Amino acid sequence: MRQIICLVPFALVAAWAVSNWSLVASGVSRLGGAHIGWLVMGGVVTGLCWVAASCVRQGTIVERLPTGKLLASQFAAGAANHLLPAGLGAHVVTLRFLRGCGIPLDRSTAALALYSLVEAIARVGLLVTLVLAFPGALRLDELVPPGRAVFTVVLVAVVLIAAVTVVLLVARRLRRIVFDFLRTALTDVRALHKKPSRTLALWGGAVAFPLLQAGVLVCVALALGVSVPWYHIVVAYLAASIAAGMIPAPGGIGSVEPALAVALVMVGAPLVVATATVLGFRLLTVWLPLLPGVAVLAALVRWRIL
């Protein structure tokens, strides 16, 4: 059964490649005339993204995790994330890894929740900071009328909070489970923030990861000769990643590409060049690491690390 499970990721990536082959081929062809030095730099920055993700994962656990296995698990989690929707692949791989390291189930799930929360706070915080520093970076008035975006966000937030409140009030058993989970999570959060090394790993990695991802996009843009300031590209990436994260597509495929293209056009890039930049970005961060990541995932399953 374990040998069969090891083959499942390869079957999934084969199906994924067939269904997305036109995007892969288009991305490769458009990058044919790009500056190779900047593309190599983009590949190096992509590798650093897994280091940052590993730092955040370590920052969510008080116990010290094995460094090499943690880094390998995050590389495999990146591949799994592109095969399952809404980030479930990465969370499942990480949960299995934490359980294999002896972390109880309630604390492992609390660590996953803390990771998602800190990562969201870091992205939104970075976006707000950069928009305040460079107010002309995003021209939102070209997409929505003034004030409409803020009203929509507030309305959605109010509806979600009201729905969750009603569910918790009606379902007593669910309310008890949620409160027990929150109690465990808050206990771990307090313990983590008493250790400076864990605090630095948690928040430093959460800030570094989106910046490194944005750095890959900047490298591809420079390789294609996009005449847009680098900090505008970083703002475009943060805005697009937050927007695309609301759509539960596997690895953001089908949601990240249009969101990034629109964001790059909003900061001043021509549409054709913006499309080529997005395809190059996805080639470095998704398509090239996918098969090696799946191989590592299968190896970790076979060696009973997952």
CA dihedral sign, ordered 10, 16, 19, 20: negative
Q: Provide the token pair at 23.
A: 């995007």
Q: Which residue has the tokens 């800030």?
A: 207
User: In whole angstroms, how far apart are CA 45 and each of 40, 73, 90, 95, 239?
Assistant: 9, 18, 20, 26, 20
End-to-end CA distance of the chain: 14
pTM listed for this prediction: 0.80
Predicted confidence pLDDT, tens digits, the chain (306 residues): 666 665 666 666 567 667 666 766 665 676 777 888 999 999 999 999 999 999 999 999 999 999 999 999 999 998 888 766 656 788 899 999 999 999 998 889 989 988 988 998 999 999 989 888 887 766 554 444 444 555 565 666 677 778 767 776 777 777 677 677 677 777 778 888 889 999 999 999 999 999 999 999 999 999 988 888 888 899 989 988 887 766 655 555 555 777 788 888 887 778 778 888 888 898 899 888 988 988 898 889 888 888
Question: Which of 113, 101, 105, 127 minimizes the C-alpha distance to 56?
Answer: 113
Q: How deeply is 283 buried, as exposed, middle or buried, from its count of CB atoms within 10 A (0-12, 13-18, 19+)?
A: buried
Helix ranges (DSSP H) in the chain: 2-19, 21-30, 36-59, 67-81, 88-100, 105-133, 148-170, 172-192, 196-199, 205-223, 230-244, 256-266, 271-282, 288-302
Domain locations along the chain: 2-10+29-302
Q: Provide the token pair at 138.
A: 């995003």
